[in-house]
Structure 1
Amino acid sequence: MFKIFTKKIKFSPLISTCKKNYGFLSNITELKLNNKVFLTDHYSQFTYDEILNLSKSLSLNIIKKLNLKEPNYLNNEKIGIYCSNNYSYLASILSIWMLNGVPFVLNKSHPSKFIEQFIDDFKCKLIINGVNSNSLDQDFNKMLNEKNTINFQLKENEFFKLKNEHINLGSNIPNNYDELKSFLTQNETEKTSFLLVTSGTSGKPKGVVITFRNLLSSIETMITAYKWTPENHILNPLPLNHYSGLVYCFLTPFLLGASVNLMSKFNSKKVWDHLLNDKSINSFIAVPTIYTQMVNEYNVNLCQEIPKENIRNILTKMKFIGSGSAPLNVKTFNEWTDLTQYPMVERYGMTEIGMALSTPLIETEKIKRIGGTVGRPCGKVGVRIYDNLNNRVLLESNAENDYFSTDSNDIFGELQINGPTVFKEYYNRPDLTAESFSDDGWFKTGDTARFLKESNVYKIIGRTSVDVIKSGGHKISALDVEKEIMAYDMIEDCSVMGLSDAIWGQRVFALIVLKAKNEDKFNRDVFLNWCKLRMPKYCVPSLIKIVQHIPKNQLGKVNKKELIQFYENNEV
């Protein structure tokens, strides 16, 4: 039995408020990146210097639009970004930073009424509205007019043509990468880098305050864990209004001196085309639903023309292939590994904490990439499992060591996180912020985890509120049941949850999507008998519903709370 070491790894801004040296920022100046191509999108290619030119040009426009004054300019005012997946996102973020403002990113797929609440909450005075000649959101524009929020329409299909115009905005605004590097680390502990809205899959969406210390520590954690260098060339299929797409696949390579191919939206055929035919691309980050679709694309449309051996040979160029943002089912992990011979690196994180755990980039005898697990803590992040029933810490871990307070081999409880990547607060929600942290400063993720002693890795059981089903005295992992169901040949997708029951507490309920042409062949009794051979009887679904599709957000996450509410009020 080991001593708990909370005090050794507890992070608090009060411990170090001095300016931290982030080694990766040196690449910005030492490598003379100005003429290196950073970004390729569907509009053009952009060098580092051209991105900076566009950012300064946009800053000048905002200064004129709002009649801003030196030296504070926006003085921490919140500016919304309502742009498509292209260069305008980064130009907007940098321009707002340059003017001492706080960007918050909006999702173009969200209805105007949903966005309206955050414009009110953040007291937003201007929205950078990325438009082109073919898309004008009349409802959105009307809503901004009614709220007297300035609708700054950035014509994305024209603005990029200004990329070669050099502008000097004076001594109070970063005009080159040396100045930008210094600017990013000024008062980093308290200064807000941006506001992100949570996906809302486990509750009402919230505004998450990310400081520059949080942002830069997350970038440093990722670069160190995955050994990224300026030679990494990332294919980014993810939306930029989410943490993974914005921070890991966009801001990380930008501040490292790497390169990005940015897709306007995900398309499995186009991703395969990029990976197989663009020799410069050597890194790829996606979410589980993307990998599932890519495996299906290969099996249905590509397998006849491209043998697996060709796929494997071509993908030997890859420095990194990773998944995150949602649990990856073991079936997809195994199918991808068989197809590519590259068992993807899987990480665990969320908007509030950045990247906390990851399977290893380089496998050793001690630590390997195991499907269905999320590896060990990264960087300076501390991780612990907390027993809420008995109010005690069962295990704490850092990147190298584990400290136990129990002899049990089954260490199971709420996952809590601490470290410099953990967010500052929920915007204007001190009550919710206080509820989300323990008395000793650990963030309560709301996820249940298990530590696998034989492998020294963590496994996510699921959201404590919806993915741990309590039925007849048993605690059942919905994700484990989903993993088993996905192994059934006729099933394309599934989502498992618990529905309230007067006798059992909850019953295991499975939403199932069948593969094409299997609708008439599927037999429930045969399927359930198959389940009983693979799972304990109490894990086998007692309720099943066949549906055409399971609703998911952009990152492939299912809002189980909404589904549970719907099916508890409607007959299954």
Structure 2
Amino acid sequence: MIEAAGRTGDLDGERVGFMVENSYDYVVTILAILAARAIAVPLSPSFPVPELQYIVDHSEALLIVSSSRFAAKTKQLLESELASKPALLVLSKHLGGGVHEKVELEDQADSGKAGLMLYTSGTTNRPKGVLLPECVMTAQAQSLNKAWEYSPEDHLLHVLPLHHIHGAINALYAPLFSGSSVEFLFPFNADAVWKRFAAPFLPRAKSSERVSSSDGSASQNEVVTFFTAVPTVYSRLLATHKELSPEMQEATREAILPAHLRLNISGSAALPTPIKQAWTDLSRGNVLLERFGMTEVGMALSCGLDMAHRVDGSVGWPLPSVEARLVDLDTGAVIEAGQEVDSTGRERSGEIQLRGPTIFAEYWRNPTATASEFAAAAENDANTTPWFKTGDVAVRRDVDGVDSVLSIRSKAASQDWTGDRSMYFILGRKSADIIKSGGEKVSALEVERELLSLPMIAEAAVVAVPSGRWGQKVGAVVVLQTKGEHAVAKWSAMDMRRTLKDRLVNYKIPQVLRVVESIPRNAMGKINKKQLVAQVFADEVRDDEASKSNAV
């Protein structure tokens, strides 16, 4: 059907945009595009038409596939001022009905130029198309399957958007690759998620009440064994749990016990310590697993399956088949093992650089941008593959107690990737989270963790505010608690400094503070910090520009 609609007998390498709800139909559509050896380009229904128009034009899509639900929007898109006019295929509803279909795969099938193209968020420039050939998708799935041990017994509850790497690969492609079952419950709704978790553990009369997924096909007798989400999802679940009935509270606590929910993962944004601890307390011992990844590389670093490996603030070790290194931001030198501390005793941070079969192929038809993001291998390196420069800064630290667990887990072949006691800790994005103030480097994520550990703080973002004197000032944007015993009506910069003086060295304590009602985030819980600075520190930015002008 897709090949016929594409007006050509050969779709090898052609781009096929598609807008289909998170459902059985979505899975069938993306696999059909890959089977046609085409490049699947997910189109988010939440995007306005101009953003969709940019993606369709930039990818030079030959065909747009739409479910009947989004037919009107795709027709509106095709009526806009597109550089080209892709063909349109509107699908009729295919009700999977929860039936497990047996599909015979060709062992020697030629995947051709098939793949997936995801678009970056475009926070600094126009979004770039990140091309993940099918071989890269397969490598990413195999890496995760080994590390996180997906299996046909797993039942994953999917609450994420599908135009990001987290939802598309971690929560869909990788579990399907291993035969796991996936149930969609999107868009995220805390009450619906709690009801779904609880369903198998309620009294029989109650468990017979069906809580449907978006395609109405979910079996409520299936225990959810795998859940991956962003920190804001866990925060919302924790906030709403106390509002559930006593019966529901007990059933949900049972559902998220380690014996039932074997793996709960948090990613796409930094996980605040209070959320991690509150989830562990509620689940009676289930520790959220943290990992690091991005659109261009899939998942790159991860903590291990053992609870002792889920060290607070750490993203663990390089995943199977992934090579990682740290490169000093000032000197460009590789920080070798054992060189993590300099001669003065100061911890050395560096940019995370990666290579391996899980790395993307290119930014779509942008060779200049692609070349600029890779660093050549060293002359004495037997492996000539270049390193991808992630733009994320981290440190490696030895963690006490992890090595004793590692000696036991090393007997399990699936966990031989966990390495030694030296684990990675993310400091933030080089462009937004490393604040250079008065000659010192401050990790915005470190300061955010301290702020979020305070009971009166509900949300926090630490940003770089321009300063003529310091270069950059550490700025804090916070949302205060408005309910419960820790609710406060106001919180001043002086209050903040008093509270943090015993937690952080002086130069890391924010110099300026703004209290707001909410901090805007995207679908993956991320904050555009440059936009936030322009919005809430506009007066500081104007004063800085004025001082520069007067200086000239």
TM-score computed with the length of structure 2 as normaliser? 0.81
In structure 2, relative to structure 1, the CA distance for the partners of 1:263 and 1:307 (3 Å cut) is closer
2:327 match: secondary structure: strand
Q: Which amino acid aligns with 2:324?
A: V
- Aligned partners of 1:199 and 1:205 also within 8 Å: yes
Superposed, 1:420-459 pairs within 5 Å as 420-440=357-377, 441-454=386-399, 455-459=421-425
Is 1:100 the counterpart of 2:40? The answer is: no
1:528 to 474, 481, 497: 497
In structure 2, relative to structure 1, the CA distance for the partners of 1:307 and 1:461 (3 Å cut) is same
- Aligned partners of 2:465 and 2:540 also within 8 Å: no
Q: Which amino acid aligns with 1:293?
A: R
* 2:54 match: 117
Q: For residues 115 and 133 of structure 1, what CA distance do their matches in structure 2 show?
A: 13
1:488 match: secondary structure: coil
Q: Which amino acid aligns with 1:525?
A: M
1:482 to 426, 432, 448: 448
- Aligned partners of 1:329 and 1:371 also within 8 Å: no
* 1:302 match: 244
Is 1:559 the counterpart of 2:528? The answer is: yes
* 1:492 match: 458
* 1:348 match: 292
Is 1:468 the counterpart of 2:439? The answer is: no
Moved more, 200-209 or 528-537: 200-209
* 1:239 match: 161
Which deviations, in whole Å up to 9, do the C-alpha atoms of 1:85-108 show, x marking residues without a partner?
112222211221222211111222
- Aligned partners of 2:395 and 2:427 also within 8 Å: yes
After TM superposition, give the deviation of residue 200 of structure 1 in Å: 2.9
* 1:320 match: 263
Which deviations, in whole Å up to 9, do the C-alpha atoms of 1:258-289 show, x marking residues without a partner?
10111121111221222222442211111111
Q: For residues 27 and 252 of structure 2, what CA distance do their matches in structure 1 show?
A: 36
Q: For residues 261 and 309 of structure 1, what CA distance do their matches in structure 2 show?
A: 19
After TM superposition, give the deviation of residue 475 of structure 1 in Å: 0.6
Q: For residues 162 and 256 of structure 2, what CA distance do their matches in structure 1 show?
A: 28
1:338 match: secondary structure: helix
In structure 2, relative to structure 1, the CA distance for the partners of 1:264 and 1:135 (3 Å cut) is farther
2:527 match: secondary structure: coil
1:329 to 272, 281, 294: 272
In structure 2, relative to structure 1, the CA distance for the partners of 1:136 and 1:330 (3 Å cut) is same
- Aligned partners of 1:221 and 1:378 also within 8 Å: yes
Q: For residues 447 and 309 of structure 1, what CA distance do their matches in structure 2 show?
A: 40
1:380 match: secondary structure: coil
Moved more, 559-568 or 463-472: 559-568
Is 1:228 the counterpart of 2:171? The answer is: no
After TM superposition, give the deviation of residue 356 of structure 1 in Å: 0.9
After TM superposition, give the deviation of residue 119 of structure 1 in Å: 1.3
Is 1:376 the counterpart of 2:317? The answer is: yes
* 2:207 match: none
* 2:205 match: none
In structure 2, relative to structure 1, the CA distance for the partners of 1:406 and 1:492 (3 Å cut) is closer
After TM superposition, give the deviation of residue 385 of structure 1 in Å: 0.4
Which deviations, in whole Å up to 9, do the C-alpha atoms of 1:387-412 show, x marking residues without a partner?
132121013xxxxxx57587666231
- Aligned partners of 2:39 and 2:114 also within 8 Å: yes
1:262 to 178, 181, 184: 184
Q: For residues 387 and 74 of structure 2, what CA distance do their matches in structure 1 show?
A: 42
- Aligned partners of 1:214 and 1:421 also within 8 Å: yes
Is 1:550 the counterpart of 2:519? The answer is: yes
- Aligned partners of 1:381 and 1:420 also within 8 Å: yes
Q: Which amino acid aligns with 1:197?
A: Y
1:393 match: secondary structure: coil
Q: For residues 387 and 482 of structure 1, what CA distance do their matches in structure 2 show?
A: 23
How high is the sequence identity, in percent, across the aligned residues? 32
After TM superposition, give the deviation of residue 327 of structure 1 in Å: 1.6
After TM superposition, give the deviation of residue 194 of structure 1 in Å: 1.1
* 2:235 match: 292
1:177 match: secondary structure: coil
Q: For residues 111 and 249 of structure 1, what CA distance do their matches in structure 2 show?
A: 25
Q: For residues 388 and 149 of structure 1, what CA distance do their matches in structure 2 show?
A: 45
Unaligned runs of 5+ in 2: 201-221, 378-385, 400-420, 542-552
1:413 to 345, 350, 354: 350
Superposed, 1:502-521 pairs within 5 Å as 502-517=468-483, 518=487, 520-521=489-490
2:108 match: secondary structure: helix
2:335 to 383, 386, 394: 394
Q: Which amino acid aligns with 2:20?
A: C
Is 1:311 the counterpart of 2:253? The answer is: yes
Q: Which amino acid aligns with 2:323?
A: G
RMSD value over aligned CA atoms?
2.7
Is 1:250 the counterpart of 2:172? The answer is: yes
* 1:42 match: none
Q: Which amino acid aligns with 1:160?
A: L
Is 1:84 the counterpart of 2:52? The answer is: no
Superposed, 1:124-139 pairs within 5 Å as 124-132=61-69, 136=73, 139=76
After TM superposition, give the deviation of residue 348 of structure 1 in Å: 0.7
- Aligned partners of 2:49 and 2:77 also within 8 Å: yes
- Aligned partners of 2:329 and 2:349 also within 8 Å: no
After TM superposition, give the deviation of residue 149 of structure 1 in Å: 2.5
Moved more, 226-235 or 309-318: 309-318
Unaligned runs of 5+ in 1: 1-59, 167-174, 396-401
TM-score computed with the length of structure 1 as normaliser? 0.78
- Aligned partners of 2:198 and 2:248 also within 8 Å: no
In structure 2, relative to structure 1, the CA distance for the partners of 1:76 and 1:474 (3 Å cut) is same
- Aligned partners of 2:115 and 2:137 also within 8 Å: yes
* 1:10 match: none
Would you say how many aligned residue pairs link Structure 1 and Structure 2? 483
